[in-house]
Chains A and B, each alone.
Chain A
Amino acid sequence: MKVINITKEFDSKFIEQVAKESGENPYLCYQCGNCTAGCPFTEFFDYPVSQIMRLLQQGQKETILRSKAIWLCATCETCTTRCPCQIDVAQIMDTLRVIARRENYVSEKEIKLFFDTFLESLKKHGRVFELGILLAYNLKSGKIFTDVDLGPKVLLKGKIHLLPTKIKGQEKVESIFRKLAERVSGNE
């Protein structure tokens, strides 16, 4: 394993940035491991969530932003619920994803793609149009026939519809997206 020079390779600005954007104090963590103990996705993570917290305390920006774990996190908030130090760990994971996206560190391109497709659908229709998401995601990811066999079943059961349903005040949802985009560009 690589030796880390923790005096030189310590990015304090990154810690400050995460703390500021998430509103959480990473130094409160004393590594009890309760977040990892409860995490339902830890078996797929390259770093368990408690180690992400530790890497954060050690200012290891590169390692964290390149990790798969921050993208595989489902934001179920078990970590947040269990944390004895009352850190909103899921919020920190979310913040790390935001930073990774901004700084082009995305290690799980497909998950990012799914997020984007989901939000695009929300923006366009005011609510999720499932069939649209499915088609867009499958096309963009190149996995055109994934789960296609399930199509007829869910269609018959009325779980998804062929046409998007409009909602009242769809323009308001759009304005939320617009305001958010303005704020993000204002920050940068």
Chain B
Amino acid sequence: MRVGVFICHCGNNIAGTVDVQKVAEEMRKIPGVAYSTTYVYTCSEPGQNEIIEAIKKYKLDRVVVAACSPRMHELTFRKAVEKASLNRYFLEMANIREHISWVGDDKELNTQKAIDVVRMAVAKVMNNKPLFSSSFKLTKRVLVIGGGVAGMQAALDCADGGLDVVLVEKSPSIGGMMARLDKTFPTIDCSICILGPKMVDVAQNERIKLYAYSEIEDVKGYIGNYEVTIRKKATYVDWNKCTGCGLCMEKCPSKNAYDYFNFGIAPTRAINIPFPQAIPKKAKIDPNYCRYFLKGKCGVCAKICPTKAIDYDMKDELVKEDVGAIIVATGYSLMGVENFPEYGGGKYKDVITGIQYERILNASGPTGGHIKRPSDGKEPETVVFISCCGSRDKSVGIPYCSNFCCMYIAKQAILTKDHLPKSQSYVFYMDIRAPGKGYDEFTRRAQEEYGVRYIRGRVSKIYPRGEKLIVRGADTLLGIQVEVEADLVVLANAVISNPDAAKLAEKLRISYDTFGFYVESHPKLRPVETNTSGVFLAGACQGPKDIPASVSQGSAAASKVLALFSKDVLESDPQVSYVNPNVCVGCMKCVKTCPFGAIKEEELRDGRKVAKVIETVCAGCGICTSTCPCGAIQLQHFTDNQILAEVYAFASGK
């Protein structure tokens, strides 16, 4: 066996705190190491060429590169050894940068640790076996979860690229948060006017199969071959018959149902169509408020419906779809007012949230676009906006900025002046964050042209006095306390992840952060990929995002799927588990512990039952190998022998 060892300086990153020459010298003493050298940037082209030349010149059959994390350059070096006609799994990387040079500054200790780590890699590479990947076919259909603006953009771009799309939306209509907005910043263009055509495109696109009012029940499979179970929730209205005429909604006697679309700013009917531009424009019964469900009699909608679409006995339905990739665009939620007891915690009707005010401003909202305060329907003269309600507030567990509140506050203040020229708006802010194109100019316009009075400071409490709400805050620039007698207070409440974000992440096997936002594969270079290949992210499910950013991510995720599907076959990773049928006793413990359902029972010709790994499903996690009582199941490239060789090399110091 002839091992070649290549120690990288990584400029000063490694050589600064590790004596690389000494490491190289020590490696030469190991029997079987035929060549050992250092290079300033091994990942550079001349660095790779040196490996290739050395393999030929010294007839090397194994290679160890001691450099950065294998997450950075393992593929680079695998390709390099392949060029020199070695199997790519005859390469082993020792991470002496992230694990050594970057974390310690004692050169002597670092060098000793590096010697140990590289020696372990040499021991492992000597035990490595050549591995070959097999190829498998893929289903060129994509699942998009979430029909907000990000999901719609992703679905439309995929469909434009010739893919069949399955779009699953949790609520009765697509459109998401953007469909609820009145105008959009910084152009003040009507939100539904620009979103509506996209929604219609989704509905009319023959390649897009829309499941509204549906949720993801289960996801099985792997990149290229997912089997997704979708739960079509019972709407109690046969959508094949419903024409969206709205007669049922008019006649429904249950008038106090919670309006999810309007965030509860006004009640709706128990049977309702969420908004005029809804897609699909179909009615749905809310059984929590419907008299038929609560008291067992009523049936007004069933009597009035001209197409006899009402079906009180409807049940949830499960459907299965095969797809090859998944785009997650599930959006965000908003923190409830109950979290702000100093602002009444929901006690005062005229303290509302930004999205509720958006519905009041909107012509399709409960007030028909006339600004009326919820308590008595009067037009407010003084409106106070409070930014960062919950955001940047560690005491409620949210240290992050909610990204777009500064902008929508400026927009809503401008719109307030447009609707009610006699009104005066105040904005309590900590910082104005407006880094987008045309954004800062927009917040300046609110102050310069619309006379919105910005006060730098927070509000400590709100309490009622007669019909007014007294807003007590600080003007920190003056260093004084200020008071505003307000008619209406709008809270910019924090953006939070969806309550069921973690549950979905577990189904998709993707990671999420402390706050429930999904984690991208790399914060800069892989912003829409996840660490689970085949699953992509778009929009605010990854973190608070405004419309342009969400749309960009929708398109970006679509382009990733189109690139993935441009191949006809995918190569499987051979670093998976393998069962030795001669050793397996057929206890099937591995079948139970495998989190991916990748192991099945197989009957051999002699009738013996043994476990068998489905290569394409196995994710190489290794749980089965530690479960197996007789060592029959081994994770390729990480076998017991290979790992023990490393341990021995470390423990013996040889």
* In the complex, A132 has a CB within 8 A of chain B: no
Closest 6 CB pairs of A and B: A38-B460, A37-B460, A37-B474, A33-B457, A33-B476, A84-B393
- Contacts A82-B342, A84-B393 given; does A37 touch B472 at CB 8 Å: yes
- Contacts A32-B430, A47-B479, A51-B479 given; does A37 touch B457 at CB 8 Å: yes
Interface flags for B425-449 (1: CB within 8 Å of A; 0: not) read: 0000010000000000000000000
* In the complex, B453 has a CB within 8 A of chain A: no
Closest to A48 in B: B479
Contacts of A37 in B (CB 8 A): 457-461, 472-474, 481
* In the complex, B417 has a CB within 8 A of chain A: no
Contacts of B388 in A (CB 8 A): 32
* In the complex, A34 has a CB within 8 A of chain B: yes
Contacts of B458 in A (CB 8 A): 32-34, 37, 82
Interface flags for A165-176 (1: CB within 8 Å of B; 0: not) read: 000000000000
CB distance from B426 to the nearest CB of A (A): 13
CB distance from B383 to the nearest CB of A (A): 19
Closest to A51 in B: B479
CB distance from A141 to the nearest CB of B (A): 29
Interface flags for A128-172 (1: CB within 8 Å of B; 0: not) read: 000000000000000000000000000000000000000000000
Partner of A30, one of B395, B430, B461, B473: B430
**Do residues B481 and A84 form an inter-chain contact, with CB atoms below 8 A?**
no
CB distance from A87 to the nearest CB of B (A): 10
Closest to B461 in A: A38
CB under 8 Å from chain A, chain B span 392-440: 392-396, 430
Some 14 contacts from A to B, beta carbons below 8 A apart, are A32-B392, A32-B457, A33-B458, A33-B474, A33-B475, A34-B460, A36-B476, A37-B457, A37-B461, A43-B481, A48-B474, A48-B479, A84-B392, A84-B393
**Do residues B395 and A83 form an inter-chain contact, with CB atoms below 8 A?**
yes
* In the complex, A76 has a CB within 8 A of chain B: no
For chain B, what secondary structure do more than half of its interface residues adopt (helix, strand, loop), or is it mixed? strand
**Do residues A39 and B395 form an inter-chain contact, with CB atoms below 8 A?**
no
Partner of A38, one of B394, B395, B472: B472
CB distance from B57 to the nearest CB of A (A): 58
Total interface residues on B, CB under 8 Å, equals 22
The complex places the Cα of A43 from the Cα of B480 at a distance, in Å, of: 8
CB distance from A51 to the nearest CB of B (A): 5
Closest to B398 in A: A84
The complex places the Cα of A42 from the Cα of B475 at a distance, in Å, of: 12
- Contacts A37-B459, A82-B460 given; does A42 touch B481 at CB 8 Å: yes
Contacts of A34 in B (CB 8 A): 458-460, 474
CB under 8 Å from chain B, chain A span 23-76: 30-34, 36-39, 42-43, 47-48, 50-51
* In the complex, B456 has a CB within 8 A of chain A: yes
Contacts of B476 in A (CB 8 A): 31-33, 36, 48, 50-51
* In the complex, A180 has a CB within 8 A of chain B: no
Which residue numbers of B lie inside 8 Å of A, CB to CB? 342, 388, 392-396, 430, 456-461, 472-476, 479-481
- Contacts A32-B430, A38-B472, A47-B479 given; does A86 touch B395 at CB 8 Å: yes
* In the complex, A107 has a CB within 8 A of chain B: no
CB distance from A74 to the nearest CB of B (A): 15
Closest to B391 in A: A84
Besides the contacts A30-B392, A33-B476, A42-B481, what 10 more A-B pairs have beta carbons closer than 8 Å? A33-B475, A34-B459, A36-B474, A37-B458, A37-B459, A37-B472, A38-B460, A43-B481, A82-B460, A86-B395
Contacts of A85 in B (CB 8 A): 394-395
Partner of A86, one of B394, B457, B479: B394
Total interface residues on A, CB under 8 Å, equals 21
- Contacts A30-B430, A36-B457, A39-B481 given; does A50 touch B395 at CB 8 Å: no
Contacts of A30 in B (CB 8 A): 392, 430
* In the complex, A22 has a CB within 8 A of chain B: no
* In the complex, A78 has a CB within 8 A of chain B: yes
**Do residues A84 and B394 form an inter-chain contact, with CB atoms below 8 A?**
yes
CB distance from A92 to the nearest CB of B (A): 16
Contacts of A32 in B (CB 8 A): 388, 392, 430, 457-458, 476
Partner of A48, one of B392, B459, B480: B480
Contacts of B392 in A (CB 8 A): 30, 32, 84
Contacts of B396 in A (CB 8 A): 84
**Do residues B472 and A36 form an inter-chain contact, with CB atoms below 8 A?**
no
Closest to A39 in B: B481
CB distance from B323 to the nearest CB of A (A): 43
The complex places the Cα of A30 from the Cα of B429 at a distance, in Å, of: 13
Contacts of B459 in A (CB 8 A): 34, 37
CB distance from B166 to the nearest CB of A (A): 43
Contacts of A84 in B (CB 8 A): 392-396
Closest to A42 in B: B481
Closest to B472 in A: A37
The complex places the Cα of A32 from the Cα of B388 at a distance, in Å, of: 10
The complex places the Cα of A60 from the Cα of B358 at a distance, in Å, of: 45
Closest to B481 in A: A42
CB distance from A26 to the nearest CB of B (A): 15
The complex places the Cα of A32 from the Cα of B476 at a distance, in Å, of: 8
The complex places the Cα of A85 from the Cα of B396 at a distance, in Å, of: 10
The complex places the Cα of A119 from the Cα of B461 at a distance, in Å, of: 34
The complex places the Cα of A98 from the Cα of B459 at a distance, in Å, of: 30
CB distance from B1 to the nearest CB of A (A): 57
Closest to B430 in A: A32
CB distance from A2 to the nearest CB of B (A): 16
Closest to A34 in B: B458
The complex places the Cα of A96 from the Cα of B354 at a distance, in Å, of: 40
The complex places the Cα of A169 from the Cα of B458 at a distance, in Å, of: 47
Contacts of B395 in A (CB 8 A): 83-86
CB under 8 Å from chain B, chain A span 86-124: 86
Closest to B473 in A: A37
Contacts of A39 in B (CB 8 A): 481
**Do residues A36 and B481 form an inter-chain contact, with CB atoms below 8 A?**
yes
Closest to A40 in B: B481
**Do residues A78 and B460 form an inter-chain contact, with CB atoms below 8 A?**
yes
CB distance from A162 to the nearest CB of B (A): 42
The complex places the Cα of A83 from the Cα of B430 at a distance, in Å, of: 13
Contacts of A86 in B (CB 8 A): 394-395
Contacts of A83 in B (CB 8 A): 395
- Contacts A42-B480, A43-B481, A48-B480 given; does A33 touch B461 at CB 8 Å: no
